[in-house]
Structure 1
Amino acid sequence: MDKQQPQQQWQQAVTAYAQAINRYVAQGCEQGWDDLEEPQHAATEHLLDAWQAALQAINQPGVDEQQRQAFRTAWPPAHLPLVPLLDTHGQGISNVLLLDDGSLLARIGMPYEKGQVVRIDQQGVTPVIGIEHFGRCPQRRYFALANAEGVRVTDGWGGPQVARLPWPSGLEGLPAGYPFDPFDLPPTPTTLVPFAQGQRVLLVSAEGIFLLAAEGATRLLPRQSQILEELAEGTDPDDIALGLAMEHGAVSPDGRLIVVGEQSSRHLVLDDQLALVAQVGPGGEYPHFALFNRRGDQLIVNACHFYNGGTLGVRVADLPGLDTDYYSEDPRTPLLQDGARVYAGVAGDGEYIVGDAYGYLRAFGEDGAEHWQHYLGSTISAMDISADGRTLVAASHAGFISVIALGSGRPEWQIGTGAHGEVRRWLFWKGWDKALVW
């Protein structure tokens, strides 16, 4: 049997499928979907052993960049051929950041899992010791670094410490005189966002959403008013749910506005003194996500239903006093994107790029105009974009981290409508001795 045969079969199957899907999408968008039949991927499961052997070989010491590029040409990256392996090896990657030196910071594993923080550069993958969770301010200057002892804020990655913030006790914002229990363990961060001055951090967790400061923590969700309401109705304190689901939060670039929400609340906007500015009714059943644009003059909020969702936009100038209900048709909160259940997103120049539950990155303008889509596969779990807007990094529940050069042209094996090319893909798979670069 010809030695080239497995990689030729893979290359042909992956490329033919991508091109067929791209034609299918173009036709559907142009003439409607009714008479179109979705293309099917050729069988590739019998090629997985050969692919894995070739991947491991290209990750041996001494392999140069030219050899890596030749490998990517012979075995173009794809998602569908790997689906048979994902139940065993796939895992979520809960956070990624592009550092200014071009390296990557990632947390392997979802927030509620033990996980590990790593730094990824041209030399490989290095564990970051002593940090369990991290976040960065919207201006890219301050970093929040968390472990069991508390949250440190540093001025730059590896820079001097400017604040040390204690974990909440769990009793903050709870009415006195009731038998509420403090936390046994620190809350597990879903999101950590330092503010513009580096002295405060927004902590989003399933145990509650808090504002962390040197003098102590303040509970933002659940709100004290709703707890008091339940107590007034005679609810036993033991039956009051203080935990959150689909918890989310964002801080405006100037640090003057905070957005918080969870699956059974509207999206709440607070000012920097924690006064309620607005209550935005979601465009779906379960509020799920929030993000400010780069200029800080627009906010998007996403709510989901099953694997779909709706993203509303609202101008910051329209927020004071805004009070809308679910599925409101208020002209101040137009639907900007219909369809995506958003798990991660970034703001580019004049556009948003969000990652959805179906494995697509979707870009749309601040006016709601659709710009492009790009397929990575599996549910998108984390994203970041470089300061110059040219490099996008996206991670998924398949255990992929994909580095994408925006505007660099679309490879023939890429499913998508944008002119963007992946330059590197890392596989962080359970059961493997180390991460492998594709």
Structure 2
Amino acid sequence: MKSSRVGRGLLAGARGLYLAIVSLAGSIVLFVLAVVSIALILLGIGVFTTPVVLAAVRRFATLTRWQAGQWADVRIPLPYREEPKNPRRGVVGQVERCSRLLKDPATWRDLEWLLVNMTLGFVIAVIPPALIGYAAHGWVLALGVWKPIYEAGNGEWFAFIHVTSQSSANAAAALGTGFLVLGLFVNPLLVRAHFLLARTLLAPTASMRERELALRVDRLEETRHDAVDTSAAELRRIERDLHDGAQARLVAMGMDLGTIEAIVEKNPAKAKEMIAKARQNSGEALNELRDLVRGIHPPVLAERGLGDAVRALALRLPVRTDVDVELPGRADASVESAAYFAVSETLTNAVKYAEADRIWVDVHHAQGMLRIAVTDNGRGGASIGAGSGLSGIERRLGTFDGVLAVSSPVGGPTMVTMEIPCELS
């Protein structure tokens, strides 16, 4: 227990030293660059430099958020507005991006945080290493360093102790030990206080959360309309498939049976031939109905879950497909269905358009999120755009507040990542 306390106190001292250096140096540099860059917008130069500088500020703030969670268990959510999916390019796109960043309240709160971080944040962060360093200084004085200092002048003050002899140096060492013990207890608290101070400016405000909630409501409303449109289109497809497929075959089979009934006594051979044809039509109609049912909700998905359903998909592909599934339970049927058809569409795209000869599928669940990654070694160049299959997948996932990300440089490889928030049973 004591060794654990000592280790945490010393580690907090080292982290405090790091934070003090980074808080002072990083905050000053980024704040000055941001102010100068924003001022240069009037000359036109800042339009190109400001997004770069503000992106660096956000990365610095995001690093602080990560450290806050890892080092002090202080959670700081991201407050930034979402970037458009298909931003404009060129000078116009650069101007729009600069304008978006400057209109985002989180940008100005980041700059306020830089000011606080280089002042009060620096003071809080520097105390932990100062306590340990000052304690070490007291011990160094007791080891005989006090004597040349005393001979060179009039001694040295260690806190309230005037070190002029070995006994006073020993007292300084004893006081230094007290500073060390104090540091072992308060250093973790001071590091946490540093991050709590950062959270006051880096976390979303109430107005930001309200705006985020309004955006989410709008997005859910949009995805709800998409889901309704998709369902209507799916019903029309089912109606068309039934009319043109199984229904037509059943009608033809009924007509054949009527003909058979009329000629069975006069021409048994012809009747037997038509019976064989009717049997063939009934088998084909049954196969079409099975395919239609499989397209609505595959039996393997309902019976054995998403993992086995994705494996079954992979077995039907004409290219080698490796599937890795880690699901300790099952999601809701609607979520499984959305994920299944999203994977099915992605695999079809990889085979049909990307011309891939190797595909990897990874399905797992972590931190309340179903994550699916489909990677292929095809020609790449895929993007989420109007009319593409990927945009349809994005709308399907959006119904469940899911997201889709695509990384597909020209020449490949292509990675399509899907995330759906859900819990497993």
Name the one with the larger strand percent. Answer: 1
Bigger-Rg structure (1/2): 2
Superposition TM-score, scaled by structure 1 size: 0.27
Superposition TM-score, scaled by structure 2 size: 0.27
